Structure 1
Amino acid sequence: MGIWLYLKRKIQANLFTITNRNLLLLSLLYLAVCWSLLVWAGEDELTSSFGQFVYYLMVTASTVGYGDYSPQSDLGKWVVALIVIPGGLALFAALLGRVATGLIDYWRAGVLGKRKLSVNDHILLLGWNGQRTLHMIRMLQHEEEGNRPIVLCSRSDIENPLPGEIEFVKVSSYTDSQEMKNARIADASCIIVDNLEDDITLSSALYCSNINPDAHLVAYFKDEALSALLSQHCPNAECIPAVGAEMLAKAAVDPGSSALHQELLASTRGMTQYSTFYPVSAAETNVEQVFMFMKREYQATLIAIQGEKSIELNPDLNVTIAPGMKLFYIADERIDDFKWDRLK
C-alpha cells in the first residue's frame, strides 16, 4: 500500500507537469498513437513514408489544412477528428507557449542582469550613480559609435536602464568571482570604476586589475589618499580626482570657466578634448609644426603633449615632439586618421 501511494504521488507530481522532458514524451506518444491508428484505419497514403506522415500531421494539427492529403475512409476521418486535430492543437499550443516563455525569460534575465554575457573587447562600467552614469554612457556611445559594446555592472537594486542599447549585470559584490564572471572582466578592453564609496572603488579596481592587468583601468575617487594608494599598486591605472572645489574656485576667479570646462568635456557638442599618438614611423618634429598642421588641415588645436614624463600643457613652440608621443587636442569631432605625411 505504501509503494502504491508513493508511485501515485510521483505520477501526479511529474506526469502532469509540463516540463521539457514531459513535452518530448507526449510528442513521441502522440506520433506513435496517430501512426498506429491511421495504419489501423487503412490510410496507406498518409502513412506511406514517415516524412509524408509527419508533414500531414503538422499541416493538420496546426489547422493550416492545405488539402493535398486527407483521410479517405470513415474510420480515418474519425481518427483525425477525435485524435489528430485535438491532440495536435494541444501540443502545438504547449510548444509555442514553451518557446515564448523561454524567449521572455531570456530577455527578462538580461534586463535583471542575471544572464551570462558573450562580449569581448567591451567597456565595463562598475557602479551606478543615477543620471551621472546615464550621462557617461551617452557620452561613451557617442564616442564609440558602436565600436565597443558597453556593459554596466551594478550592486544597486535596478534593472537595465537602457535595454537593447547596453548589456547589464547585477551582482551583490564587485569582488565576488562567481558573479563577476558574467561581466567578463578578463575580456574587457576598458574598465571604469565609479562608486559612491571610495573604499568600494578601491577594492573593485584592485580586483579588476588582478583579473585583467592589460585593460585600461579608470577609477574616480573623492579621497586623494585612496587615489594615490591605487596608483601605487596599479601604476597603469588612471585615477580621476574630484575637481568640484577646484572648478568652483576657478569660476570665482575667472568667470565663465565652468562653462569652458563643460565644453571641453562634453562629447556631444562644441569643442571637445581628444588625444592621439604621433606615429612611431614619423620623423622627429616640434610643437610649432604639429600645431600649424592640425590647425591648417583639421581646424584642431594642440593643447598638450605627453612623453615618458608627465603631461606638458601649452608647450613652447620649439619643444621637440618625438615619435610615439601622445598629443592632446581640441576639435569638434575626434579625428580618426591624421594624414601625417602632409606635415611640413
Structure 2
Amino acid sequence: MTIWLWVRRWAHQQFNQLNGRNLLMTLVIYVGLSWILLELAGEQDLTHSASRFIYYLVVTASTVGYGDFSPQTIAGQWVVSLFVIPGGLGLFAIGIGRLATVFISYWKSSLLGKRRINVENHILVLGWNHQRTLHLIKMLQHEERTRRHIVLCVRPEMENPLPGEIDFVRVVSFTDTASMDRAGIGSASCIIIDNEEDDVTLAAALYCASRNPQAHLLAYFHDETLSDLLKSHCPNAECIPSVAVEMLAKAAVDPGSSGLHHELLSTHHGMTQYAVRFPANGVSTPISQLFTLFKAEHDATLIGIDRGDGIELNPALDLEVTPGTNIFYIADERIDQFNWPD
C-alpha cells in the first residue's frame, strides 16, 4: 500500500509539472518504449518501417482504429493492451488539452486587451465612455468602411465591447510606454482622446503628441480652458469642446437647430458635412467656380474653407481657393473623386 501511495503521489506531481518540454520528453520515451516492446514481442511487421510504426501509434492513440494493422503475437497483444493503448490515450488527451488551452489563452488575451496589436495607419481611440464611445466607433466604422483599423485603448477592467470588429488594448495608464506600444501609438494616423476626466485627457494628449507628432490628434474637453492649454503646447492638436449648452441655446432661439446640427454630424443617413483638401499642385480657383462644380457634378454644397488662417464659413464667391486649402461641403455621401479645374 505504501508503494502504491508513493507511485500515485509521484504521478500526480509529474502531471502537475507536465509543461511543453516534459510533454515532449514523455512522448519520445513513449514512442521509444513502444517500439522496443513491440520489437521484443516479435511484431516486426509493425516496427520494420518508421512511417508504418508512427501511423499505427497515431491511429491507436486517437482511438480511430482502422484495423489495417494489428499485433499478431500474444506478447504483442499484451504490450498493446497494457502499454501502447493506455499510454497513447493519455498522451493524446493531454496534447489536445494543451493545444485547446493555448488557443483559448490566445483568444482570451485578445478579448481582455493583453495582446500586442500589429496594425499601422490606424485610428486609436483612448478612453471609455460607455454608449458615447460605442456610438463614436460605429460612426467611424461607417466613415472608414474598412479603410483603417480602429483600435480601442481603455484603462478600466473590461472586455472588448465589439469583438471581431475592432482591436482592443487595455492599459494601466495612457502615459505608460510599454502599454501604449502594444496599442501601436507610434504608427497611428489618427488619435482620438475622450475621457471622463479632462486632466487625464490633457496628460494623454501631451504624451501622444510627443510619441507621434505626425498623427492627427483630437481631444475632447469639458473645460474649454484646457483646450487652450493644449493648443499652446501642441498647435497641431484639434480640440473638441462640449457644445451641448450652445446647442440648447441655439435651439431655444431658432427652433429645429438641434435637428439640423445632428443631421450634419450623423454619417448614417441624410446630408452630412465632409472635408476635402484642394490639390497641392492645383491652380488658384474662385469659390464661384468650385461652388458650381460641387453642385452640378456631385449635388454637394460648399459651405466653408480653411486656407491656414482659420475656417471661413459662407465665403465670398470671388474669394480665391489656393492649393492645399481645406474645403468643407455638405453631401449625402463622401465624394472620393473630384474633377478639379485645370
Q: Tell me whether the two structures share a fold, i.e. TM-score over 0.5.
A: yes
The answer (yes or no) to whether the contact 1:286–1:318 under 8 Å persists in 2 is: yes
Determine the structure 1 residue equivalent to 2:55. Answer: 55
- Secondary structure in 1 aligned to 2:225? helix
Counterpart AA for 1:128? W
The answer (yes or no) to whether the contact 1:15–1:22 under 8 Å persists in 2 is: no
Determine the structure 2 residue equivalent to 1:99. Answer: 99
Determine the structure 1 residue equivalent to 2:287. Answer: 287
Aligned-partner Cα distance in 2 for 1:201–1:319: 38
- Secondary structure in 2 aligned to 1:304? strand
Aligned-partner Cα distance in 2 for 1:324–1:16: 66
What are the ranges of 5 or more consecutive residues in structure 1 without an aligned counterpart? 1-7
Aligned-partner Cα distance in 2 for 1:9–1:96: 24
Q: Using the TM superposition, give the Cα deviation of residue 208 of structure 1 relative to its aligned residue in structure 2, in angstroms.
A: 0.9
TM-score normalized by the length of structure 2: 0.93
1:13-63 Cα distance to aligned partner (Å, 9 max, x none): 455433222211221111111111111122222222322221221122112
Q: Using the TM superposition, give the Cα deviation of residue 310 of structure 1 relative to its aligned residue in structure 2, in angstroms.
A: 0.8
Determine the structure 2 residue equivalent to 1:302. Answer: 302
Determine the structure 1 residue equivalent to 2:246. Answer: 246
Structure 2 matches for 1:12-161, cutoff 5 A?
A: 13-14=13-14, 16-161=16-161
Counterpart AA for 2:39? V
The answer (yes or no) to whether the contact 1:221–1:227 under 8 Å persists in 2 is: yes
Determine the structure 1 residue equivalent to 2:271. Answer: 271
Determine the structure 1 residue equivalent to 2:224. Answer: 224
Q: Using the TM superposition, give the Cα deviation of residue 180 of structure 1 relative to its aligned residue in structure 2, in angstroms.
A: 2.0
Q: Using the TM superposition, give the Cα deviation of residue 9 of structure 1 relative to its aligned residue in structure 2, in angstroms.
A: 9.4
TM-score normalized by the length of structure 1: 0.93
1:155-184 Cα distance to aligned partner (Å, 9 max, x none): 123221111111111122111222222212
Determine the structure 1 residue equivalent to 2:336. Answer: 336
Counterpart AA for 1:230? L
Q: Using the TM superposition, give the Cα deviation of residue 111 of structure 1 relative to its aligned residue in structure 2, in angstroms.
A: 1.5
Counterpart AA for 2:134? L
Aligned-partner Cα distance in 2 for 1:84–1:185: 54
Determine the structure 2 residue equivalent to 1:195. Answer: 195
Q: Using the TM superposition, give the Cα deviation of residue 280 of structure 1 relative to its aligned residue in structure 2, in angstroms.
A: 2.1
Aligned-partner Cα distance in 1 for 2:56–2:15: 28
Aligned-partner Cα distance in 2 for 1:317–1:44: 96
Note closer, same or farther for the CA distance 1:10–1:316 as it changes in structure 2 (3 Å cut): farther
Note closer, same or farther for the CA distance 1:16–1:256 as it changes in structure 2 (3 Å cut): closer
Counterpart AA for 2:217? L
Which region of structure 1 is more displaced relative to structure 2, 154-163 or 197-206?
154-163
What are the ranges of 5 or more consecutive residues in structure 2 without an aligned counterpart? 1-7
1:204-243 Cα distance to aligned partner (Å, 9 max, x none): 0001111111111100011111111111111111111111
Determine the structure 2 residue equivalent to 1:3. Answer: none
Q: Using the TM superposition, give the Cα deviation of residue 79 of structure 1 relative to its aligned residue in structure 2, in angstroms.
A: 1.8
Counterpart AA for 1:26? T
Counterpart AA for 2:219? A
Aligned-partner Cα distance in 2 for 1:77–1:165: 55
Determine the structure 1 residue equivalent to 2:4. Answer: none
Aligned-partner Cα distance in 1 for 2:181–2:107: 19
